[in-house]
Amino acid sequence: MRGYLDTLKVIVVIAFRNLFASRLKTLIVGGIILFGSMLVVVGTALVDSVDASMSRSIIGSVTGHIQVYNAKSADELAVMGNFQMEGADLEQIDDFKTMREALLKVPNVKTVVPMGLSGAMVPAGNSVDVVLEKLRDLVRRQQAGEDVKAAIPSQKDHVRQIVAVLATDMANVGKVLNDKAVAPEERAAIARATAPDFWDEFDQDPLGTLEFLENRIAPLASDADMLFLRYVGTDPAAFAKSFDRMKIVDGTTIPPGRRGFLFSKWMYEGQVKLKTAHRLDVIHDAILKRDKAIATDPDLQRLVKQNATEVKEIMLQLDSQQTDAFRAKLQKELASQESDVSKLLAEFFRVDDGNIIRRYKFFYDELAPSLTLYRVRVGDTLTIKAFTKSGYVQSRNLRVYGTFTFEGLEDSHLAGNLNLMDMVSFRELYGFATPERDREIQAIKAAAGLKEIDRDHAEAELFGAQPSEPESPAAVATVDDADAVLRGLAGKHRRERREDQAYDPAQLEQGVVLNAAVIVRDPRRIPQTMRDIEAAGTRAGLTLKAIDWQKASGLVGQFVTMIRYVLYISVLIIFAVALVVINNALVMTTLERIAEIGTLRAVGAQRRFLLGMLLVEALAVGGLFGGIGSALGAGIVAVLRIVGIPAVNDIFYFFFSGPRLHPGLSVANLAIALAIVLVVSGASSIYPGLIAMRVSPRQAMQSDE
């Protein structure tokens, strides 16, 4: 043993002295290895940290550890979306209860949350509609004998203000473009609404005039955009319990057994809030939380410009009294004599790094209380119109119970673009039959005197020898078609009744779902649990497919895998270069030392001694510089851990699971770097080793002949 160690010592001495003998070569080779190993340590540490953060974000926000869906589905489930515009085409799982019971038999499964993903367009109404609706309400109440005389003039005044704003807007469009840019009927409508006798006409025929305003004037206000809402239908209580990062920000959660809707706070702020106010929030937060500056950030400059030019949405909300109040406040705040409130607002919103904090406070203290900040407020009823899977439109009026967010992911659109709905309403909007709906259809059928006809005997029943009683058109159709017709017939009636209507909580368990989130006890056993889940499904007569959180989240989840591949390819390229360079350096060294190698062979060195010598030489360079590179990499990671890498945008916010990533270093990161370095170094000594092994001891004799 001692002899081996001493031989190794000689090998090491020869190797190291050779390295010192060709310092430049050693430094070049070492430099490449140093950089490569540093990249591996820093890169793998960052990717692992992002992976861990992102898994927290994704698992904790919507996917759970595992997602389960019907294996017969045409598409793969992508909870957070993919490049397709439409959602994934998933087959339904008929009975959640059966699936849940089967899955809970798998030892590692902790909870199973029913789910379904879909999207809908929601008409949120524009600010003119809101004002006109208020005026219509006052008129109705007046006609019903209520004393609202004092309130009507103020509301009328607000409408006149709106019409004036729209008229100015139209005049500006005409100036900037040309008169043809404005349609003649729009011009005529504005002309009529601004005519002095229009409001006299209103007093005589308020409902007729309101209809004109609603149909011809309201559409001219361009803030009437639709909300596109992606939502997950689920059992709200089970969801909140399983995804413990979820917290209610405004209002309450959807009470058990009630239909309802929860906005994601991110979506609520970004889509439902007054745009000017939202943009001001974004600018304010970017400066305070992300150390950005308007002076240097083009995105913030764009938001400032948008706020300064798009004051109309505020102007449309102001009646004459509010306009006067805004004028006075803004003149004082801005120390301006300008009387045009829209110009004052534009000036006010033209914020810079010096005044943003003050103006933000002023806006919320002085101006916002007079404005409707949110188009839909907690407690309002939201009409959601969605296309069912078979293509017809279903709509539901759902009460907005509140807003929610996922702790640590407040600013992330990836975590924030899914809203929440009770599973029963989801099923109805998706076009699934529910026991309640079946009962309703049966009742309508009975009331209409319909009878079901077997498809095979339909012809005989309808046109056979014994003609039946004259049939209603609906009865002539197939049962399926009849259902659709009846659904249409019953539509409005049911919509009105169902709002806020309670349902039996047992329905959550017993109905159809599209997918389910599974929370496991031990996340290290996810792959085995997925196999167990599929097997449990098969035993229960279900064709289930289980996918992990990374796959379930779609492209988002595969981001880290992609980054990992990019890192590995970079590392591969660097070390391929290193391999070639080390190999060449060693080949040159070997060729320069043919006589020496021949002498070693002559005096009794076996071939493996020579191979060992070159191997040690390569490993020494790799180990030394790889060690230094790894240590430097570890140092960089340690500094980044203290300082933190800021999330530059909301995508990184999600990937970092918060505003900053504080990467951690694991033994594995260092081990991988050193292993790669040593493997590459070892591999690069193979060819020179083969050359050395082929050197004959005769070379020693021939050296000077």
Partner 1 sequence: MTHIVSVQQVFKNYTLGTFVVPALRGVSLDVEEGEFLAIAGPSGSGKTTLLNLIGCVDTPTKGLVRIAGNATETMSERQLTRLRLHTIGFIFQSFNLVPVLSVFQNIELPLLLQRSATTKERRARVEALLDRVGIREYASHRPSELSGGQRQRVAIARALVTRPKLVLADEPTANLDSVTGTNILDLMKELNRTEKTTFIFSTHDARVWSYASSVVRLADGQIVDRVTAEEAVRAGGVPGQPSPRAT
Nearest-approach distance from CB 604 to partner 1, in angstroms? 3
Q: Is 26 in the site for partner 1 (CB under 8 A)?
A: no
String of DSSP letters for 160-227: HHHHHHHHHHHHHHHHHS-GGGS-HHHHHHHHHHHSTTHHHHHHH-HHHHHHHIIIIIGGGSTT-PEE
Q: Is 24 in the site for partner 1 (CB under 8 A)?
A: no
Q: State the binding string over 136-175 for partner 1 (x if CB under 8 A, else -).
A: ----------------------------------------
Specify the residue, 10 or 588, whose C-beta has the smaller distance to partner 1.
10
| Tally of residues, the chain | 705
Q: Is 363 in the site for partner 1 (CB under 8 A)?
A: no
182-189: which pairs have CB atoms within 8 A and are 24 or more residues apart? Answer: 185/216, 186/220, 189/216, 189/217, 189/220
Q: Is 17 in the site for partner 1 (CB under 8 A)?
A: yes
Show the tokens assigned to 279: 């943009």
Q: State the binding string over 33-52 for partner 1 (x if CB under 8 A, else -).
A: --------------------
Q: Which of 95, 285, 347, 596 binds partner 1 (CB under 8 A)?
A: 596
User: Rounded to 5 degrees, what are φ and ψ at 487?
Assistant: -60, -40
Q: Is 605 in the site for partner 1 (CB under 8 A)?
A: yes
Specify the residue, 603 or 642, whose C-beta has the smaller distance to partner 1.
603
Q: Which of 7, 215, 306, 442 binds partner 1 (CB under 8 A)?
A: 7
Specify the residue, 213 or 613, whose C-beta has the smaller distance to partner 1.
613
Scanning residues 57 to 116, which ones bind partner 1 (CB under 8 A)?
Answer: none
Cα separation of 47 and 44, whole Å?
A: 5
Three-state SS for 556? helix
Nearest-approach distance from CB 20 to partner 1, in angstroms? 8
Q: Is 391 in the site for partner 1 (CB under 8 A)?
A: no
String of DSSP letters for 343-381: HHHHHHH---TTTHHHHHHHIIIIIGGGS--BSS-TT-E
CA dist list (Å): 72 to 91, 95, 222, 300, 544: 6, 15, 45, 47, 8
Q: Is 13 in the site for partner 1 (CB under 8 A)?
A: yes
Q: Is 21 in the site for partner 1 (CB under 8 A)?
A: yes
Nearest-approach distance from CB 611 to partner 1, in angstroms? 14
CA dist list (Å): 454 to 27, 480, 533, 650: 87, 12, 39, 57
Stretch that binds partner 1, among 13-21, 76-84, 103-111, 556-564 (CB under 8 A): 13-21
Say if residue 68 is exposed, middle or buried (CB neighbours under 10 Å; 0-12, 13-18, 19+): buried
Show the tokens assigned to 245: 């990062």
Stretch that binds partner 1, among 146-154, 332-340, 522-530, 606-614 (CB under 8 A): 606-614
CA dist list (Å): 459 to 131, 292, 450, 482, 580: 57, 75, 16, 17, 81
Specify the residue, 341 or 700, whose C-beta has the smaller distance to partner 1.
700
Specify the residue, 13 or 171, whose C-beta has the smaller distance to partner 1.
13
Q: Is 23 in the site for partner 1 (CB under 8 A)?
A: no
Contact (CB, 8 A) for 402 and 252: yes
Contact (CB, 8 A) for 660 and 647: yes
Show the tokens assigned to 161: 């203000």
Specify the residue, 487 or 601, whose C-beta has the smaller distance to partner 1.
601
Q: Is 3 in the site for partner 1 (CB under 8 A)?
A: yes
Show the tokens assigned to 226: 């639709």
Nearest-approach distance from CB 702 to partner 1, in angstroms? 8
Nearest-approach distance from CB 704 to partner 1, in angstroms? 4
Specify the residue, 78 or 619, whose C-beta has the smaller distance to partner 1.
619
Cα separation of 627 and 272, whole Å?
A: 55
Specify the residue, 469 or 704, whose C-beta has the smaller distance to partner 1.
704
Number of residues near partner 1 (by CB under 8 A): 34
Nearest-approach distance from CB 8 to partner 1, in angstroms? 9
Q: Which of 85, 144, 603, 639 binds partner 1 (CB under 8 A)?
A: 603
Nearest-approach distance from CB 524 to partner 1, in angstroms? 47
Specify the residue, 24 or 85, whose C-beta has the smaller distance to partner 1.
24
Q: Which of 595, 632, 651, 690 binds partner 1 (CB under 8 A)?
A: 595
Q: State the binding string over 686-705 for partner 1 (x if CB under 8 A, else -).
A: ----------xxx-xxxxxx
Specify the residue, 11 or 552, whose C-beta has the smaller distance to partner 1.
11
Residue with tokens 């169902």: 498
Stretch that binds partner 1, among 14-22, 113-121, 494-502, 671-679 (CB under 8 A): 14-22
Q: Which of 600, 614, 621, 665 binds partner 1 (CB under 8 A)?
A: 600
Q: Is 589 in the site for partner 1 (CB under 8 A)?
A: no
Contact (CB, 8 A) for 616 and 11: yes
Q: Is 468 in the site for partner 1 (CB under 8 A)?
A: no
Nearest-approach distance from CB 700 to partner 1, in angstroms? 5
Show the tokens assigned to 403: 């807003």
Say if residue 432 is exposed, middle or buried (CB neighbours under 10 Å; 0-12, 13-18, 19+): buried
Nearest-approach distance from CB 614 to partner 1, in angstroms? 14
Nearest-approach distance from CB 692 to partner 1, in angstroms? 14
| Beta carbons within 10 angstroms of residue 649's beta carbon | 13
Pair type for strands 261-264 and 393-406: parallel
Q: Is 10 in the site for partner 1 (CB under 8 A)?
A: yes
Cα separation of 417 and 421, whole Å?
A: 13
Specify the residue, 135 or 605, whose C-beta has the smaller distance to partner 1.
605
Q: Is 6 in the site for partner 1 (CB under 8 A)?
A: yes
Specify the residue, 291 or 705, whose C-beta has the smaller distance to partner 1.
705
The helix (run of H) or strand (run of E) holding residue 68 is: strand 66-70
Q: Let me know how many helices (H) and strands (E) the chain has, helices first.
A: 32, 12
Contact (CB, 8 A) for 573 and 668: no
- Give which of 219, 237, 305, 316 is closest to 274, Cα–Cα: 316
Cα separation of 510 and 513, whole Å?
A: 9
Scanning residues 189 to 218, which ones bind partner 1 (CB under 8 A)?
Answer: none
Stretch that binds partner 1, among 7-15, 41-49, 413-421, 669-677 (CB under 8 A): 7-15
Q: Is 281 in the site for partner 1 (CB under 8 A)?
A: no
Q: Is 588 in the site for partner 1 (CB under 8 A)?
A: no
Q: Is 592 in the site for partner 1 (CB under 8 A)?
A: no
Stretch that binds partner 1, among 94-102, 556-564, 590-598, 647-655 (CB under 8 A): 590-598
Q: Which of 98, 168, 599, 666 binds partner 1 (CB under 8 A)?
A: 599
String of DSSP letters for 572-629: HHHHHHHHHHHHHHHHHHHHHTHHHHHHHHHTT--HHHHHHHHHHHHHHHHHHHHHHH
Residues forming the site for partner 1 (CB under 8 A): 2-4, 6-7, 9-10, 13-14, 17-18, 21, 595-596, 598-607, 609, 696-698, 700-705
